[in-house]
Structure 1
Amino acid sequence: MLVEKRYFETLHNGYGQYFDVTEILFEQKTPQWHLIIFNNPNFGRVMALNGIIQTTERDEFIYHETLTHTPILAHGNVKSVLIIGGGDGGILREVVKHQDIEHITMVEIDNTVVDMCKTYFPNHSACAYDDPRVNLVISDGADFVNKTSERFDVIISDCTDPVGPGEALFEYAFYAGCKRCLDENGIFVAQNGVPFMQIEELTTSQQRLSAYFSDVTFYTSCVPTYVGGQMALAWGTENHALRKESVQTISERYNASNIVTKYYNPHIHVASFALPNFVSQAIKNVANNQR
C-alpha cells in the first residue's frame, strides 16, 4: 500500500514494514493485482505485488543463491534443471553459472513479467536468457509439469506466496507433476514462506509433499526484506542421503564448479538444514497425524 512517499507491506495482519519511495518507476493496477516497482535509498529497486514485497536489488542474491546452489551441489551431477516461475531471472542467473548443466528449462506464465524485469531489474538475470542452454517456455507451471515428456535432475519452484495465481504451485496436483518429471535421484525445492509467521504454510507443504516424496524437509535462509525471521525452503527427494552430504564433499563440488557467490558457501549449505525446534516439532506433528 502506497501512502504518500512510503510503501507499506501488508502481508501479515498487525505487523509489517515500510519502504521510503524516492521514485516510482512502474505501477499497474487491475481488479486482480497492484504491481509497483520503485526506488528505495537502502534496497535500490523494489518490486511489490498486492502488498507483498517480491524482490529487491540489494538482497535478492541471498534468496536466489540458496534456492539454486543447495540442490544442485547436493545432487552432485546435475545435467538438467527446470525452473518454475522466476520471471525476474535471478534463479536463472545462478543456474547458468554451473557449466556442467546441459539443459535449462524455465516456465513462466507471462512473458510480460520477463520483459519487465529485464527492463527494471537487469542485474537479476544478467543476460542469463542469452545462454544457449536455456529454453524459456511461456506456460502455466502446474500444467507444464503434468504434461511434459522431459525429465529433470532438479526442479526449482520460485513461486509467490500461496494466494491468487501462486496458489496452484502449492497444490497436490503440482507436486505430483513435479515428482513425475524428476529423475530417480532428483530434487525438488521451493520457496515456502517464513515459518515464524506462516507455520501453517509450512505444515501444509509438508503434508502434501509427503504424498509424493519419501524424504521431505525444509532448509532455511535469512533474507532481510522477507520479514519475520528465517525463510523456509521446501525440499523433496527420494534419496535421503543428498541433504546429509558433508562439508568436505560440498566444498569439493563447490570448488570444482568455479561459481562465484556472495552468500552461499559449503558451511552455510550444511547449516541450512539445521531447523529450529518449533519447526522440527511442527514437521513431526504432521508426520504423526499421517500415520
Structure 2
Amino acid sequence: MTDWSTEKLHADYAQSLRVDRLLYDSETEHQRLRVFENPTFGRVLTLDDVVQTTEGDNAIYHEMLTHVPILAHGAARHVCIVGGGDGGMAREVLKHASVDHVTMVEIDGGVVEFSKQYLPALSAGAFDDPRLNLVIADGADFMRETQGGFDVIIVDSTDPIGPGEVLFTDTFYGHAKRALAPGGILVTQNGVPFLQPDELTNTMRAFTALFADATCYLATIPTYAGGPMAFGWGSDGDARHTTLDVLQGRFAAAGLDPFYYTPAVHKAAFALPGYVARLLG
C-alpha cells in the first residue's frame, strides 16, 4: 500500500501527500525531521509532519519573501534571515549581487546539515557563498542582542508552535525593528489567513504599533493549503510604494530569472481581498 503523510496543523482540516520513498526520518532535540519523495512536488521536508518546503513549489515562497523587500528597498546591502535552515531563502537573497552580506540565524543545526545532504537543490550552493554568515542560535536571542544595521530582515519561521512561537511575539518584533537600518524592511511569514487568521491579526497589531507602514502581501503556494499565504510587511520608509517602472528597472539590472516573481506580481501582491483586509483592522 502507498504511504501518505498527513498534516494535521488545523483542527478541522488536513492535507495529505503521497510518500513514494522515505529518505530521512529522525528526531532532533527540537523537532522530528522527515524528507520524502512525492511524484508532483519532488522532495518534501516536514517538521513534526507539517510541510515546510518542497522542491516543487518552494520558489514561490522564497522568491516572494526575498525579491519583494530587496527590490522595493533598492539599496539593500545587509540582510538578515531568521530561520531558513533549508537554505532556500539564502539562495534567493544571494542571487542579488548588490547584497554584500547575509546573516542567517537558525536554531537547529541539524536542519542545515540534513538539508545539505537530502535537499541540496533548495540551497543550490548558498551555504558555500562567502557572503553568508551562518549563526546557529535562537533567533529571538540573536535579535535581542544584535547591533543591527540590517536593510532587510526576513523571518522565515515555522508556525507559532514550539521553537517558532517566540518569533511571533511583540517583543521579538520590537527587537527586530531596532535591528533595522533607517528605511529598513521587516517581512514575516504569517500563515494562511483563511485558516490561521490570528497569526496575521496578531502580527499586524504589533506592526501597526511599531511601523509607519504596516501591512501584508500575498502569494499562493500549493502545499501551504487553504488559500493564499500572507507575508507581513513593516517599515518606516516608503519602499512599498516604489513604482512599477522602478521595480522593472531594478529587476532587469539584477538579472533574475524567477519561477514566480515578477514586478507586476510584486505590485499586485499588496492588493488584499476583503477578508484579509478586515484582519488588518
Unpaired runs of 5+ in structure 1?
285-291
Unpaired runs of 5+ in structure 2?
none
Q: Deviations over 1:139-162 (max 9, x none)?
A: 111111111123100000000000
Identity of aligned residues (%): 49
Match of residue 37, structure 2, among 34, 39, 51 = 39
Counterpart for residue 255 of structure 1:
252
Map 1:57-206; keep pairs closer than 5 Å.
57-206=55-204
Which amino acid letter does the alignment assign opposite residue 73 of structure 2? H
Q: Deviations over 1:262-286 (max 9, x none)?
A: 11010000000000011112212xx
RMSD: 1.4
Cα shift at 1:29: 4.0
CA distance in 2, matches of 1:71, 1:152: 12
Which amino acid letter does the alignment assign opposite residue 139 of structure 2? G
149-158 or 24-33, larger mean C-alpha shift: 24-33
Counterpart for residue 230 of structure 1:
228
CA distance in 2, matches of 1:33, 1:107: 17
Match of residue 275, structure 1, among 250, 272, 275 = 272
69-78 or 128-137, larger mean C-alpha shift: 128-137
Cα shift at 1:209: 2.0
Q: Deviations over 1:203-245 (max 9, x none)?
A: 0111122232121100000000000000000000001x21122
Match of residue 19, structure 1, among 17, 22, 28 = 17
CA distance in 2, matches of 1:147, 1:125: 27
Counterpart for residue 208 of structure 1:
206
1:265 matched to 2:233? The reply is no
Counterpart for residue 243 of structure 1:
240
Which amino acid letter does the alignment assign opposite residue 191 of structure 1? Q
CA distance in 1, matches of 2:105, 2:30: 22
SS of the residue 1:210 aligns to: helix
Normalised by the size of structure 2, how large is the TM-score?
Answer: 0.97
Cα shift at 1:100: 1.0
Normalised by the size of structure 1, how large is the TM-score?
Answer: 0.93
Cα shift at 1:37: 1.2
CA distance in 2, matches of 1:24, 1:172: 38
Task: Return closer, same or farther for 1:4/1:67 CA change in 2, 3 Å cut-off.
Answer: same
